[in-house]
Structures are given as structure tokens and as C-alpha cells.
């Protein structure tokens, strides 16, 4: 089983602050996804990154995939209370893109 480390586990910030969440592995990902989960619901995909060095933006969220494809980050600019939730990274390795390993998640709370 591949290991995927996600940090921090908890993050509580004020509205308007910036934050970064990290996802790391000792192995090379073939692809990596970020999901967001709200209480009582299933995770919902935010982005998929495939190419080393790739940067994707989704409104105030910026996703980076490391050049070596072993790490990724999620940066939120000017966080809002609506960003509150559990952020999960999920990686695929080798040829099995259909099977994901999830990190433990980062529980983000944005206080008004």
C-alpha cells in the first residue's frame, strides 16, 4: 500500500487569511486529485493533476503538482466561511489510475 501524507490535519483561520495544505508521498504519482467533503456528504472532486509542475486554478484555489510528481499543494487565497470543510488528496500510482489512495484529510474551519 502506498502512503500519502497530508498536512496539517487541522486548520482554523479567520476570514480573509491565506492558507496552504500539503500532500506528499515517497513514490511518484501517476495522477493526483483533490476532493472537498462537507459534513454528512460524500467527497466532491475539485481538481485532477497529472503533469509534473502543473498549476491549476479554481477561483481562489490554486493547485500545484510537484516537478517530480511526489507532492502537491492546495493554496486558498482570502479564505471565506464557505471554504470550511474536509480537504482530501488522493493519489494513483503506476498503471492503476482507477484505484486511489486517500490522505487523512485537512479539516479547515474559516471563522467569520
Partner 1 sequence: NAGVTQTPKFRILKIGQSMTLQCTQDMNHNYMYWYRQDPGMGLKLIYYSVGAGITDKGEVPNGYNVSRSTTEDFPLRLELAAPSQTSVYFCASRRSTDNYEQYFGPGTRLTVT
Catalog residues that contact partner 1 under the rule CB under 8 A: 1, 6, 9, 31, 33, 40-45, 48, 88, 90, 92, 97-105
- DSSP per-residue letters across 65-96: E-TTSSEEEEEESS--GGG-EEEEEEEE-TT-
Q: How far is the CB of 41 from partner 1 (least distance, A)?
A: 6
17 vs 104 by CB, closer to partner 1 = 104
- CB nearer to partner 1: pick between 19 and 92: 92
What is the DSSP pairing of strand 85-92 with strand 101-102?
antiparallel
Cβ proximity to partner 1: between 76 and 90 the closer is 90
| Of residues 9, 2, 4, the one with CA closest to residue 87 | 9
Radius of gyration, CA atoms only, the chain: 13
Minimal distance in Å, beta carbon 78 to partner 1? 27
Amino acid at each position: 500500500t502506498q502512503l500519502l501524507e497530508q498536512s496539517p490535519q487541522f486548520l482554523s483561520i479567520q476570514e480573509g487569511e491565506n492558507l496552504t495544505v500539503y500532500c506528499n508521498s515517497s513514490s511518484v504519482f501517476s495522477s493526483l486529485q483533490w476532493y472537498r467533503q462537507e459534513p454528512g456528504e460524500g467527497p466532491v472532486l475539485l481538481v485532477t493533476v497529472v503533469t509534473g509542475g502543473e498549476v491549476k486554478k479554481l477561483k481562489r484555489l490554486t493547485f500545484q503538482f510537484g516537478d517530480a510528481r511526489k507532492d502537491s499543494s492546495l493554496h486558498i487565497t482570502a479564505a471565506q466561511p464557505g471554504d470550511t470543510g474536509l480537504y482530501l488528496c488522493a493519489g494513483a500510482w503506476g498503471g492503476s489510475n482507477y484505484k486511489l489512495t486517500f490522505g487523512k484529510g485537512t479539516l479547515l474551519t474559516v471563522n467569520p
